[in-house]
Structure 1
Amino acid sequence: MIQEFEPEATRRTASAAESSRANRGWWDRNADEYQNDHGAFLGDDRFVWGPEGLDEAEAGLLGPVTELKGRRVLEIGAGAAQCSRWLAAQGAHPVALDLSHRQLQHALRIGAQDVSLVEADAGALPFRDGAFDLACSSYGAIPFVADPVRVMREVRRVLRPGGRWVFSVTHPIRWAFPDEPGPEGLSVAASYFDRTPYVEQDETGQAVYVEHHRTLGDRVRDVVAAGLRLVDLVEPEWPDWNAQEWGGWSPLRGRLIPGTAIFVCEAP
């Protein structure tokens, strides 16, 4: 019997091209399992900013819900486009972009008829300058790219002046702790300042999954370097109603340390 190789987890450098290739393949292979495991929590047409369950309908980080009607919105790293479906239900005109073909197939499965789906790399957005009023990303693209400033600059380019860009990522402090939901995940195990990417690689040393760590200050500087203005930084608290565990996120950890950071930015 041939045994499937278990990827080796390591910390090493990974270029933009290697990161993009690895993560496209990983999401294509794992989209079915991801949607099966988390689809019920994410909903088919709900806009959730992270595992804590902060809902855009409540948070209004893109602006008042009543003002979304008619807005052109770009969702980056859209997955199955659940957030875009919610935006469409509010009367917006969303475009859901993702690197993974299989993820976008799930968008078709759940019925994203009112959403334009685009398969493309976030570092080279196939849209004209000023094409969108708003842009958003819920854990999409930004944690997985080697050059986040390039993505930010592309977002700024396609936003109209005054347009808002809101994105959520794993809170940078989480990189200092083990990715465990229980008590073992509450002790610092690594340097917060070690920016070496997390890489899973196959038996030949080829990356099959990559995540890039940036400190909180790095993220702020990335926003500024792209010519954007940081309006707010939201760190959602874990709500009492949420009893789920999702990877390293859990009620235990969520009530003690932040798990998600949401950056609210505007184009000047």
Structure 2
Amino acid sequence: MDSIPANRRLWNRISGAYQHEHDPQIGAAPRLWGMYSIPDAHLRALGDVTGKRVLELGCGAGQWSRALAAEGADVVGLDLSEAQLGAAARAMGADRYPLVQGTAEQLPFAADTFDLVFCDFGGLSWAPPHLAVPQAARVLRRGGRLVFNVASPWFEACYDEAAARVTTTLQQDYFALDTIAEGDGATSYQLTYGDWVRVLRGASLVIDDLIEPRPDPETLNGYNKTDPPDWAHRWPAELLWVTHKPSSDRL
């Protein structure tokens, strides 16, 4: 919880530069997942959202939320950064949707409100998962789904800080993965496979699938340098979790 003010300051400071650099890629087409912009039509993680109540955790400039609103979803975009929400508001077209400033650790919504909670990095990369996942489960209706994409622990364990790139050599202690210092007190979060399973099951969510998006060899990472360039074609760079809240208390 102590990272919230610092994370807000970070995203308020970098929002303009981030959107200038990345919006041409992530806003180029609807439903593109992650660092390699892999279409959801290929991964089939989100499904039909028409008529569904949807919450995006960490909506940024709203590229995903705009796309789902255009498909007929009843979308709410949540972000901790007023600068990011400002970018989302400016980018809105005819398909408008509510924007809420808040944190994934303390969602300002009643229980059993949404049919789908999702994020592409966003809230589950920038909030402690042991706090954010139970909050997402709380606001889901029975049978509702939590779908989210985060970095793979392989990716983080192979990140060479000195070279500022992901390599083929293990650099970090896998079992020490937890928090990542982003400077000036800001923090992102990285779990092992086992810790993700325990957090999700601890929130009484059922794991339906774990998709490891695999880009084509020639597709480059839009956010990080990797050595070799086709790193994510050979090893998993991201984890796309597909889960749901049971229809009853019996698992």
TM-score (norm 1): 0.84
Distance in 2, Cα, partners of 1:176 & 1:229: 27
Pair 1:102–1:176, CA change in 2 (3 A)? same
How many residues are treated as equivalent by the alignment?
243
**Structure-1 residue corresponding to 2:21:** 37
**Structure-2 residue corresponding to 1:23:** 7
**Structure-1 residue corresponding to 2:236:** 258
Distance in 2, Cα, partners of 1:234 & 1:184: 21
Give the secondary-structure state (helix, strand or coil) at the position aligned to 1:160: strand
The residue identity in structure 2 corresponding to 1:211 is S
Residue from 111, 115, 120 that aligns with 1:129: 111
- For the pair 1:172 / 2:137, whether they are aligned, the reply is no
TM-score (norm 2): 0.89
Cα offset for 1:263? 0.7
Quick check: 2:113–2:139 contact (8 Å CA) kept in 1? yes
Distance in 1, Cα, partners of 2:55 & 2:223: 26
Pair 1:43–1:241, CA change in 2 (3 A)? farther
The residue identity in structure 2 corresponding to 1:267 is K
RMSD, aligned α-carbons:
2.1
The residue identity in structure 2 corresponding to 1:255 is H
**Structure-1 residue corresponding to 2:40:** 56
**1:9-61: CA deviation from partner (whole Å, max 9, x where unpaired):** xxxxxxx22x1111111111001111111111101662222012222244331
Cα offset for 1:62? 2.1
Cα offset for 1:71? 0.6
Identity between Structure 1 and Structure 2 (%): 35
Distance in 2, Cα, partners of 1:121 & 1:195: 22
Residue from 69, 79, 104 that aligns with 2:50: 69
Quick check: 2:179–2:187 contact (8 Å CA) kept in 1? yes
Between 1:171-180 and 1:95-104, the stretch displaced more is: 171-180
Cα offset for 1:114? 1.6
**Structure-1 residue corresponding to 2:249:** none
Pair 1:59–1:201, CA change in 2 (3 A)? closer
- For the pair 1:140 / 2:118, whether they are aligned, the reply is no
Pair 1:241–1:72, CA change in 2 (3 A)? farther
Give the secondary-structure state (helix, strand or coil) at the position aligned to 1:222: helix
Quick check: 1:197–1:210 contact (8 Å CA) kept in 2? yes
**1:91-136: CA deviation from partner (whole Å, max 9, x where unpaired):** 1111000011101111112115522101001111111111111110
Distance in 2, Cα, partners of 1:106 & 1:183: 29
Cα offset for 1:81? 1.1
The residue identity in structure 1 corresponding to 2:34 is G
Aligned pairs for 1:87-166 within 5 A? 87-111=68-92, 113-146=95-128, 148-166=129-147
Distance in 2, Cα, partners of 1:51 & 1:150: 25
Quick check: 2:56–2:78 contact (8 Å CA) kept in 1? yes
Quick check: 1:245–1:251 contact (8 Å CA) kept in 2? no
Distance in 2, Cα, partners of 1:62 & 1:153: 20
- Structure 1 runs not aligned, ≥5 long: 1-15
- Structure 2 runs not aligned, ≥5 long: 247-251
**Structure-2 residue corresponding to 1:4:** none
Distance in 2, Cα, partners of 1:175 & 1:184: 8
Quick check: 2:217–2:233 contact (8 Å CA) kept in 1? no
Quick check: 2:146–2:244 contact (8 Å CA) kept in 1? yes
Give the secondary-structure state (helix, strand or coil) at the position aligned to 1:193: helix
Distance in 2, Cα, partners of 1:42 & 1:184: 21
Distance in 2, Cα, partners of 1:74 & 1:149: 19
